[in-house]
Structure 1
Amino acid sequence: MSRLRETPEGRPLPEGLTFTDAEGRVTGFDAFRGKGLVVNFWATWCPPCVAEMPALDRLHAMVARDGIEVLALSNDRGGRAQVEPFYQRTGLRHLGIWLDPRGATGRALEVRVLPTTLILDRRGLEVGRLTGEAAWDQPEVVAVIRRLTRTPAAAPATIRS
């Protein structure tokens, strides 16, 4: 994870970012508020993206019980018709199908290369970014994701007398 750029204080996302689920329903990151997110921008035509998808699928299975979601946000213009057969062929069972076929969300988040992965904490702030392929299911990587997505400690209460 040496290529992971951490932003511990968190960087707010632009307002109004949306993408769709497999059924074509529009949603956004606010729908996942309170959960940690690993948002991977990828496409079926991108060899490093394809190579890391099984590890992302395993990661999702490992961290879902911790309140962390892995959103594999496809940039394929063919949408579900292109992504769903890929999931079936590859045996991906844990990842949902999420679509950004025009790349608008990726552009708004300054994603210039696929794959690019953003780590969002439970407040919805970007706390990490990695460009390129990673071994997402390795124990040290999972530990970093758990650390970055945990809810920051609240400021201590002041007791007044």
Structure 2
Amino acid sequence: MMKSVLRMSFPSLSTLLLIGFASLMLFSPEAKSWTIRGLMSIGFFQPNVQVNEKSPAKQGSEVSFRNGDNQVVKLTDLKGKVVVINFWATWCPPCIAEMPSFNRLSSTLKSNKNIVFLMVDVDGNYKKAKKFMERKRFNLPVYTADSSIPESLLDGSIPTTVIFDKFGNLVFRHIGAGDFSSKKVEEYLVKLSEVEGR
């Protein structure tokens, strides 16, 4: 009799746990981002970066961003540098999940003055985005869009990460969360930053 009660309660217990987990994922952005980060740590969400000198790259258009000091940075003004732009929002679980990897990557490459990071809050709420970065102790530069963003860069899906080479060409675009702190991404950016002339 006791064994049959235990057998019947195990499926009920596992169903309750599954419902609890699903509810947590549905209503808690932090729980979702924690789960995504866990999947990143075991090798999921790896961006496919590769330097392919033979593939044509698209030229970046006239796009500008604004920082907390109200300074406008134009994409065309950053030619000569590799530019990494991440479009994100504070309410987006995949964005929150990948942010530690960007923080590690940025810290690793901070001595390379030929690589620039722009973390662009798509809501345009600089103060909220900056507070998020401070609360999480991330040292990433926060920007908002100061012009329209073409669909070739951002089609509405976040997070979206794009990389421009030193000549202003769009050479990489990744939609969705990614582990950008991998050695492969670091080496890709360093190689792009070392390219001279044409």
**TM-score interval (norm. to shorter):** 0.7 to 0.9
> 2:53 matched to 1:9?
no
List runs of 5+ in structure 1 lacking aligned partners.
155-161
1:128 and 1:148 in contact (8 A); partners too: no
Q: Within 2, Cα distance between the matches of 1:54 and 1:74?
A: 16
The aligned counterpart of 2:121 is 74
Matches within 5 A, 1:68-147: 68-77=115-124, 79-93=125-139, 95-100=140-145, 104-105=148-149, 107=151, 109-147=153-191
Larger Rg: 1 or 2? 2
- What SS does the corresponding residue of 1:140 show, helix, strand or coil? helix
Aligned-residue Cα RMSD (Å) equals 2.4
Measured in 1, the distance between the counterparts of 2:176 and 2:51 equals 15
Alignment identity in percent?
26
**Amino acid aligned to 1:61:** S
Q: Where does the alignment leave 5 or more consecutive residues of structure 2 unmatched?
A: 1-45
CA displacement at 1:76 relative to structure 2: 2.0
Of stretches 142-151 and 66-75 in structure 1, the one that deviates more from structure 2 is 142-151
- TM-score, length-scaled by structure 2: 0.66
Deviations 1:11-51 (A, max 9, x none): 1012x311101122222112322111111111111110011
The structure whose RCO (Cα within 8 Å, separation 6+) is larger is: 1
2:77 aligned counterpart, secondary structure: helix
Task: Classify the secondary structure of the residue corresponding to 2:100.
Answer: helix
**Structure 2 counterpart of 1:74, which letter?**
D
Post-superposition CA distance 1:112-137 (Å, at most 9, x none): 31011111101111011111111111
Deviations 1:60-113 (A, max 9, x none): 121232321111111123x222111101111112x1111128x82254634331
- Bigger strand share: 1
What does 1:49-60 correspond to in 2, within 5 Å?
49-60=95-106
Deviation (angstroms), 1:143: 1.6
